[in-house]
Amino acid sequence: MELTSNPQAVEIAGEKLVVFRDAGGLWHALLDKCPHRGAALSLGAVTEDGNLQCRYHGWRFRGDGVCARVPLNELTDKALGSIRAAAMPVMELAGALWVFTGTLQDEPAPPPPELPSSLQGPPRQFGTYSQHWNAHWTRAVENFIDFAHPSYLHRDTIGAWTHDYAEGGAIATCEVHAESWGFSTLNYFTTARQGFRVDWYRPNLSVLHFGDSGEGKLHVFSIPVSAARTRVMTVRRLPPGADTAAWSARAASMDNTILDEDRVVVESQDGPVDEAGEISVATDAPAVAFRRWHRQMLASRP
Ligand code: FES
Ligand SMILES: [Fe+2]
């Protein structure tokens, strides 16, 4: 989602949040619910001193959620400090805002995610494109690490060169290599020896290596909005000096075509990935590795 207003309402992982930028340009995320009477804080405004002011009775909140002012009342600093809107850790990276919503369930914030070097750099160097899918985020991740579907699902577009291999009886090999940040996969047709690398970064980033340079990589985030909705966001590093608008428009139109092909089938899958009820074969090795991580991650939660 584009951050076009300040403050702005966003929904992530089933939580309604408000994000806002303070006077110093730093972004913050709070639960979009005023602790006074539950009004949506996103209806409010950012004051000149960088606090978020509730539209209803004008209470002001700092980026860390602590109340800075309750109009019409005399409160001690201690009393003010005890009034809090729930705040979540945020960070800005590759032109995108990252929010960890687990703190709302009293989970300690994890260290920031380990990300590829191709996502480092000033925000203006990146072009992004987003689609909303009516699907569980795990289905989307699995789609973006899967080598066996482009020959069929994308046979009229990016998979055209592989369709005849697949129909002609080629065998594909999908190697999975554990990495500190997740796993890398190397996929190739035994008959063609043309390999294609796809990386998975915990928890929801797939990196498709269409080339070795930073610009040759397509980063795809599968961001949970709710249990039944996922925002699929592609991020590309733009070539130096690129006309950002023109480049983004071209990338968006291409991504739109390919992602629409994926979206239709992924939306037809029910619920999250289903280890027990579905059959996996050798070319599902990346998906099986992802499913294992997902199962262990769920099992480790309180
Ligand atoms: S509901 Fe927010 S100040 Fe009253
Ligand atoms: Fe696809």
- Domain CATH for 102: 2.102.10.10
H or E stretch at 81: helix 77-81
Please report, as a single letter, which amino acid is at residue 90.
Answer: V
Q: 160 and 55, same structural domain? A: no
pLDDT of residue 192: 67
**How far, in Å, from the CA of 159 to the mean position of ligand 1?**
54
pLDDT of residue 147: 95
pLDDT of residue 56: 96
Distances in Å between the alpha carbon of 275 and those of 38, 127, 157, 220? 40, 35, 30, 23
Pocket test for ligand 1, best of 42, 47, 54, 83 (most atoms within 8 A of CB): 54
Of 82, 112, 142, the one marking the end of a domain is 112
Q: How many independent structural domains does the chain possess?
A: 2
Of 46, 77, 112, the one marking the end of a domain is 112
Pocket test for ligand 1, best of 33, 52, 59 (most atoms within 8 A of CB): 59
- The pair of structure tokens assigned to 98 is 């990252």
pLDDT of residue 207: 97
Sign, CA dihedral 217-1-261-247, equals negative
Nearest to 242 by CA among 126, 130, 129: 126
Q: 143 and 230, same structural domain? A: yes
Cross-strand pairs, 221:
205, 233
H or E stretch at 151: helix 150-153
Buried b (16+ CB within 10 A) or exposed e, 10-41: bebbebebbbbbbeeeebbbbbbbbbeeebbb
pLDDT of residue 48: 95
Q: For the chain, which residues score pLDDT lower than 50?
A: none
**How far, in Å, from the CA of 84 to the mean position of ligand 1?**
12
Q: 129 and 102, same structural domain? A: no
Q: 123 and 96, same structural domain? A: no
Nearest to 32 by CA among 52, 12, 17: 17
- The residue segments making up the domain with residue 129 are 119-299
Q: 257 and 134, same structural domain? A: yes
Q: 139 and 256, same structural domain? A: yes
**How far, in Å, from the CA of 245 to the mean position of ligand 1?**
40
Q: 127 and 264, same structural domain? A: yes
Question: Is residue 47 included in any domain, yes or no?
Answer: yes
Ligand 1 neighbours, Cβ below 6 Å, are: 34, 36-37, 39, 54, 56-57, 59
Q: 126 and 195, same structural domain? A: yes
Which atom of ligand 1 lies closest to the CA of 34?
A: 2
**How far, in Å, from the CA of 89 to the mean position of ligand 2?**
32
**Which residue, by CA, sits nearest to atom 3 of ligand 1?**
57
Of 47, 77, 112, the one marking the end of a domain is 112
Q: What is the pLDDT of residues 91-133, one digit of tens each?
A: 887 778 888 888 877 778 777 788 899 988 776 788 888 999 9
Q: 140 and 66, same structural domain? A: no
**How far, in Å, from the CA of 262 to the mean position of ligand 2?**
5
